[in-house]
Amino acid sequence: MAHKKFPITLNNLTYALTFTVLTSCAGPESYQQKMARYTPKIIGKNQVPEIKTAEFNFKPMLSNNGQKSRTPASAPENPSMGEEGRESNPTNKKLYFLNLYSEYEAMKNYSMEFVGPTVTICPNFHTSLLRHNEKSSVTTTPTGAKAKKFIYDSKKYSDESYIASRPELMLPLSKEEVTPRVIDIIRSTGPSIGDFAVNELVHKALDIHLAKTYSEIRELCEYGVSDNYYIYENLITHIKNNKFEADTKNMNTLLKTTIFSNIALMTSLDANSGTAMPSRAIASVASTGKKSIYATEVMARLNVAWANQYFDYIKVSR
C-alpha cells in the first residue's frame, strides 16, 4: 500500500494531504486512486487574493456567566441549514461549494462589465445546486442600478490600516498571480493617478476575481474538489488541533481561504459603493451583513464568530 503526499501551504504553516493508493490492479478504481491522480484541467487557477488585516484589536467575548469565551454572549441561534428546504447538515465539501457559489452570484452584482455565466450543469453537486437555486431565486440587478463608482482618500494610499479596511484594493490585476495588486499600481503611478483611473483598476481586478471564482466553481462541479477546498480542509484541521483565538494572525489565516476573503471583499464593496445591494438581488445574503447562510454555518462550525469584529470594522471605517 503506497502513500502520496500533496503539500498545501496555509499562512506560514505547511500541511500534507495524504491519500492512500491501493497498488492492487484488481477491482474498480477506488476513490483514493482517483483523488491521487487529481489534476485540474480548467484554465485559470483561483489563487486566493492576499487580503490581510492591519494590527487589529479584537475585543474579548464573554459568555453568559461573564467568563471569556470564543463566541458572543448573546449570539443568535445559528440559522438552520434545513430551513426553507435548504440542505440539512451538509458535508464540508457541499458547504464549501454552496458558499463559493452564493458568493459568486452576489459579487456579480458589483461588476460593471463582467457577465458572469450561470452555472446550470454541475455533476458533483447537482442536487445541492438545484435546491439552492430553487430557494434563493437569485436575480441580477439591472446594469443601470449597479453602483459603479468607489470613493477613496488619495492621501491615505500609503496607510496600511486604510488599505486593510478596503480589501478590493488588495485584489490582483493578474489572472495567474497574486501581484501586482490594485494598490501596487496606484502607489507606483503616484499622485498623478485620478479617481477615474482608480475605479477602472478596481473594476478590472474585480472582473478578474469573478472569472477565477467561476473557474473554481467549474472545477468543483467537474472534480468535486479544488486546491482552495483543500486549503479550507486544512484550516478545519488546524483549528481543531490548535488554540485558535481572536487575534490578527489568526484573522489573516482565515483570510487565506476564499470564504472569508470574499466576505471581507463584499462587505467593503457594499460599504464603499454608496448604494446597498438590493435585498431582492441575493436572497441568500444574511440581513446582518454580506454573509450567506452558508458562511454563517462555516463560522459556527469553526467557532470563529469573533471574525465578525473585523467585518464590522470594514463597514464602519468609511
Distance between CA atoms of 252 and 139, rounded to whole angstroms?
A: 32
Q: Closest Cα to residue 210, out of 99, 132, 104?
A: 104
Give pLDDT tens digits for 175-201: 889 999 999 999 999 999 999 999 999
pLDDT beyond 80 at 219 = yes
Scan for cell 485620478, then name that residue.
194
Instruction: Give the separation between CA 215 and CA 169, rounded to whole angstroms.
Output: 22
Question: Which pLDDT tens digit goes with each residue over 261-305?
Answer: 999 999 999 888 654 444 333 333 333 345 678 999 999 999 999
Model pLDDT for residues 146-167, shown as the tens digit of each residue: 556 888 999 999 999 999 999 9
What are the angstrom distances between the C-alpha of 310 and each of 42, 133, 240, 266, 316? 34, 30, 22, 13, 10
> Is 9 in a helix, a strand, or coil?
strand
Arithmetic mean of pLDDT over the chain? 77
Note whether 86 and 135 are within 8 A (CB). yes
Q: Please, which pLDDT band fits residue 18 given cuts at 50, 70 and 90?
A: very low
The reported pLDDT for the residue numbered 110 is 86
Q: What's the CA angle centered on 304, arms 299 and 305, to 5 degrees?
A: 80
DSSP state of 82: T
